[in-house]
Amino acid sequence: MASLQEYATYREIKTQIEAWVQAMEVTRHISLPNAQNYGQVIFTGCGSTHYLSLAAAALYQELTGCTARAIPASELLLNPQTVVSRVASPTYLLVAISRSGTTSETVKAVQNFKTEKRGEVVVISNYDDALSRLADVNIVVSKGQEKSVAQTRSFASMFVAATSFGARMAGRDDLPDRMNTLPEIGNHLLEKYETFAEKIGSNLEFDRFYFLGSGIRYGLACEANLKMKEMTLTHSEPFHFLEFRHGPMSMVNEQAVVVGLSSEANRIYEAKVLSEMRSLGGTVVSVGETEADVEFNSGIPESVRGILYLPVLQLMAFYRSVAKGLNPDRPKNLTAVVQLNL
């Protein structure tokens, strides 16, 4: 078996903290528009960056009080009438997110948005490429660039940027300052819980994974689920915490792992769900600030510490991929950049 350092995915997970630092620095100094100028903010992306958009839109609305929603770029491109109003249309702000800056659907959707003069465009990316050239505000986190197909360091870097962006758009300059301790805590989590991630991920007696998260954590649960699917070819699904009880929990048994991205605000409800899944025979993994299997103990406000949920779950998927004899750097049927003839 190859040594861990031979895998780009492993190196990228373990070195992502430097990309967090750059993301915070870039968004700290960039000039941003006024949140009150827009009737609605649309976050868009494809695959991982759509899931990033789900988390970022929920966070943006929570922090600013302004309406925000996440839409796959393909829907904005193919079915714009379901996204933007053609009657009494408000001024939109479009936040387009793409690791490469060249994702076909995202580039074309932004081009159409600009042509129709719908509003301004913010781009969050790891490369200064085609998408960035369409931006009114351009946020590039180059240290998030990676060689592997499945997004780990790139996703993390862009999510930190989106978090800082949302805080600044809300006029909450205190929150980016509170985020300054994220790198130290992120490194601590990678060191402390790597063996735990390996133990869960490498256990091939498990055959299904469910990731539960609500609020801003739902998009992160979706992303953790995607990493498990892409890298390990394992049955994996994301759900909102309480929704999991409405049918999906019928799949829970001794071969199931239920991962809860727990919050402080809703802990009493989420803990009951996890306890119930444990009683059904599932292996439960809780991730959160305190009273969890993976504990942050960060002291950072809940709204801006979301990135801390990801590193250990990324490692869990990586170790499962290796245990199954797969190549986590090159998941089956996938390429790093999706290009379509549009």
Distance of CA 258 to the CA centre of its chain: 18
- Contact indicator for 118, 94 with CB cutoff of 8 Å: yes
**pLDDT of the residue at 231:** 96
Indicate yes or no: pTM above 0.85.
Answer: yes
**What pLDDT is recorded for position 334?**
67
Length of the chain: 342
CATH of region 183-323, choose from 3.40.50.10490, 1.10.10.10, 3.90.245.10, 3.90.45.10: 3.40.50.10490
The strand pair at 208-212 and 68-72 is best described as: unpaired
Tell me the domain boundaries of the chain.
4-179, 183-323
Q: What is the largest CA-CA distance in the chain?
A: 61
Provide the pLDDT for residue 331.
85
The stretches of the chain forming alpha helices (DSSP H) are 8-14, 16-29, 48-64, 73-78, 104-115, 153-169, 174-178, 182-192, 194-201, 216-232, 267-279, 310-323
The two tokens of residue 285 are 């993994």
- What distance lies between CA 232 and its chain's CA centroid? 18
Give the strands of the sheet with 294-295, arranged side by side: 235-239, 208-212, 256-261, 283-288, 294-295
Taking Cα atoms as reference points, which of 101, 156, 173, 110 lies closest to residue 307?
Answer: 156
Task: Please report the pLDDT score of residue 295 as a whole number.
Answer: 98
| Secondary structure element (H or E) that encloses residue 251, with its range | none
Euclidean distance between CA atoms 82 and 38, whole angstroms = 18
Nearest to 170 by CA among 62, 57, 30: 62
Task: Give the tokens for residue 64.
Answer: 């600013």
* pLDDT < 50 positions in the chain: none
Q: Would you say 307 and 184 are in contact if contact means Cβ atoms under 8 Å apart?
A: no
Could you say which DSSP state residue 315 is in? H
Phi, psi angle pair for 121, to nearest 5°: -130, 130
DSSP state of 335: -
Contacts for 116 with CB less than 8 Å, ≥ 6 apart: none
Quote the distance between the C-alpha of residue 78 and its chain's center: 24
Contact indicator for 317, 232 with CB cutoff of 8 Å: yes
Instruction: Determine the topology of domain 4-179 in CATH.
Output: Rossmann fold (3.40.50)
Q: What is the pLDDT of residues 246-280, one digit of tens each?
A: 999 999 999 999 999 999 999 999 999 999 999 99
Residues contacting 297, CB < 8 A, separation 6+ = 185, 289, 290
Q: Which amino acid is at 192?
A: K
Task: Classify residue 141 by its DSSP letter.
Answer: -
Neighbours of 222 (CB within 10 A): 20
> Six-digit token pair at 106?
């995202």
Residue 340 gets which letter from DSSP?
Answer: -
Cβ(212)–Cβ(241) under 8 Å?
Answer: yes
The answer to whether domain 4-179 and domain 183-323 are alike in fold is yes
Numbers of helices and strands, H then E, in the chain:
12, 10
In the three-class reduction of DSSP (H, G, I as helix; E, B as strand; rest coil), residue 168 is classed as helix
